[in-house]
Amino acid sequence: MASDPTRPRAQRGGAGAVIVRRLGKVNERVSYGVLGFVALALVWEITANLGLYRKSLLSHPTAIWRAAVTDFGNGSIFPHIALSLQEW
């Protein structure tokens, strides 16, 4: 049976179509995951800047990001990571 050229490639059938459909679902899941993470970080940052909670109890994402960049940049985090991996 010949494939119908008027149908989109993902609807024609065959192994290629299955892969395309699966990749579409994976990309959708990844997109929603990234979007959810960004939304959570944005709400977290806004609530921290509005003073809805004390920053001494829960830091804000930009401060955590700055500390991570600094620690990875100067290499001070690597001994801690090595020790954690040894203990694990």
CA dist 62 and 79 (Å) reads 24
Give the number of domains in the chain: 2
Mean pLDDT within 6-35: 69
Full residue range of the structural domain in which residue 85 is found: 54-88
My answer on whether 31 and 71 are in the same domain is no
> Under a CB-based contact definition with an 8 Å cutoff, are residues 59 and 68 in contact?
no
My answer on whether 48 and 85 are in the same domain is no
Triad 58, 64, 44: Cα angle to 5°: 50
Query: For a pLDDT cut of 70, what percent of the chain falls above it?
Result: 73
My answer on whether 60 and 46 are in the same domain is no
Q: What is the pLDDT of residues 35-77, one digit of tens each?
A: 999 999 999 999 999 999 888 888 999 999 999 999 999 999 9
My answer on whether 16 and 58 are in the same domain is no
Token readout for 67 is 């500390």
Q: Helix H segments across 1-88?
A: 15-49, 61-74, 78-87
pTM beyond 0.75: no
